[in-house]
Amino acid sequence: MEAKSFHSELRSWLASPLLVAVVAALLGSLLIPSITRKWQNHQKALEIQTGLVSDMSQSVSSAVANSRFIAAGLVARPSSQQAWNDLYRDWTTSGASIGARIRAYFGPKVANDWQAYTYALTDYVGLSVPSGDRRSQVEEIYAYRNQLGGAKLTRPQWLTLAQSPSSGDFQTAYAKLGRALLARQDELVQQVLSSHVSGF
């Protein structure tokens, strides 16, 4: 009899409008904002990642394509130096800006990988014109070659890259190296997408 009475009182108490109101208020003030905050943080982290990888892809593909245009002589002679100056400035500026954002949101490991990549791509941009320390630029890219899974250049092709960009052999090797740099950029994009965004 006492058990029935207890169950009856418990049911009555649980059905109380006051208790329902208190529980609803607690859920509304604690649980729902927490879920909303987590969803908003997830959305913000996604926005950071997608914005960053979009900038990475755009700046790298632009640097590689414009370098190849300049190296192939597809930019008119009087304006080729200006085109190269603009390319170099745009690439180094965007590369550094992207690197700072990667460091802030993804930490030193991903940022260091990006920085090493930007050095190699900057040397690639430098090879598009006949001037400069071409041998040193090729040596620096060659030192990075293990990160370029797609760069299976032969020894003669590496040596050709240190020569003037006017030869057909140079253009072949340069295009192959450009494709390898684009493939490495895809790997770095995946690294950013699979990393946790700091602060979210």
| pLDDT confidence of residue 164 | 86
pTM of the entire predicted model: 0.80
Task: State the residue for tokens 């890219």.
Answer: 141
CA 56 – CA 190 distance, rounded (Å)? 11
**Within a 10 A sphere around the Cβ of 124, how many other Cβ atoms?**
26
Task: State the residue for tokens 């920085």.
Answer: 115
Summarised one tens digit per residue, pLDDT across range 17-67 is 766 777 777 767 776 666 667 777 668 888 999 999 999 999 999 999 999
**Residue type, position 59, single letter:** S
Sequence length of the chain is 200
CA 101 – CA 53 distance, rounded (Å)? 11
Share of the chain above pLDDT 90, in %: 64
